[in-house]
């Protein structure tokens, strides 16, 4: 029986990239009789020595993705000393990047994992913002990083989505005089709740435009000044009851308001 052929997949991170490349190559040999053994999180010289003690040079290959120059150099030297074939999967392409684009790599391990984690946190936050938009499920208020409250057309939804792309889980609740706010709104910390207010004239114009775009009459009660003043007065009472910070969004862009919200959140945490 032939000796077992092993490809050791070595990485200073999880090793998924190296494993994917090795499997892609193995398919070109119909899978062969190769085995793979992943050796992740190599971050010191002792890890390399331990790896070398495990390997049979006559039937093994090392395929590695190590970006720390000193560790890579040590692995290359030890592999040469032991007569083990060691293939660097990253350096040729990194060198091409450096030469062609005249830039230097960071030589920092686990960056791909960090990017993946960041991506999935952002997706999770966006899904959260959609699920708990417009007060749909008050249970989301207890799970949120930030809770936005205010009358209709104070940019609660676009702000929620903008902040979600910064990986914050945001829920928002419309304040309407005829509907009591959910009890959960009074159970959360006032430091993570932000009230959004707007000038009556500005809100009047926004609501008229909204009705016009919907093909409705602009003199509807929704856009009347009397109704707007009633709603704003009600919202202010709720915000005072909660004791949350308040931002006037009348002349602010979404980005500007979001920065103000994050600043408030940071100050609130530091005061706890």
Binding site listing: 150-157
Nearest to 254 by CA among 139, 159, 144: 159
CA distance 114 to 109: 10
CA distance 199 to 201: 6
**Are the C-beta atoms of residues 52 and 8 closer than 8 Å to each other?**
no
Binding site per annotation, positions for ADP:
150-157
The length of the chain is 272
Phi, psi for 247 (deg, rounded to 5): -120, 130
H helices within 62-110, ranges in order? Answer: 69-82, 91-101
CA distance 16 to 257: 40
**Cα separations in angstroms, 256 against 25, 155, 162, 218, 270:** 50, 12, 11, 29, 21
Nearest to 149 by CA among 130, 124, 165, 132: 132
Label residue 158 exposed, middle or buried (CB < 10 Å: 0-12, 13-18, 19+).
Answer: exposed
CA distance 7 to 53: 15
């Amino acid at each position: 029986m032939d000796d077992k052929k092993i490809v050791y997949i070595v990485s200073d991170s999880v090793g998924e990239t190296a494993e994917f490349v090795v499997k892609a190559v193995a398919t070109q040999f119909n899978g062969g009789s190769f085995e793979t053994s992943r050796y992740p999180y190599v971050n010191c010289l002792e890890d390399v020595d331990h790896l070398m003690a495990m390997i049979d040079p006559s039937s093994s290959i090392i395929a590695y993705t190590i970006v720390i120059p000193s560790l890579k150099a040590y692995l290359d030297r030890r592999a040469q000393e032991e007569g083990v074939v060691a293939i660097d999967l990253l350096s040729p392409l990194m060198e091409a990047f450096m030469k062609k684009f005249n830039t230097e790599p960071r030589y920092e391990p686990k960056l791909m994992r960090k990017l993946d984690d960041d991506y999935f946190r952002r997706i999770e936050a966006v899904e959260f913002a959609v699920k708990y938009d417009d007060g749909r499920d008050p249970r989301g208020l207890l799970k949120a990083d930030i809770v936005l409250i205010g009358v209709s057309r104070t940019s609660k939804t676009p702000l929620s989505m903008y902040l979600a792309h910064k990986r914050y889980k945001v829920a928002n609740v419309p304040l309407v005089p005829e509907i009591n706010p959910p009890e959960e709104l009074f159970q959360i910390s006032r430091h993570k709740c932000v009230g959004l207010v707007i000038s009556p004239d500005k809100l009047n114009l926004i609501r008229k435009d909204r009705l016009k775009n919907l093909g409705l009459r602009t003199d509807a009660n929704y856009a009347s000044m009397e109704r707007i003043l009633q709603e704003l007065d009600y919202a202010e009472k709720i915000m005072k009851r909660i004791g949350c910070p308040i931002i006037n969004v009348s002349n602010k862009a979404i980005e500007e308001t979001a920065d103000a919200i994050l600043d408030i959140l940071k100050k609130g945490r530091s005061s706890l």
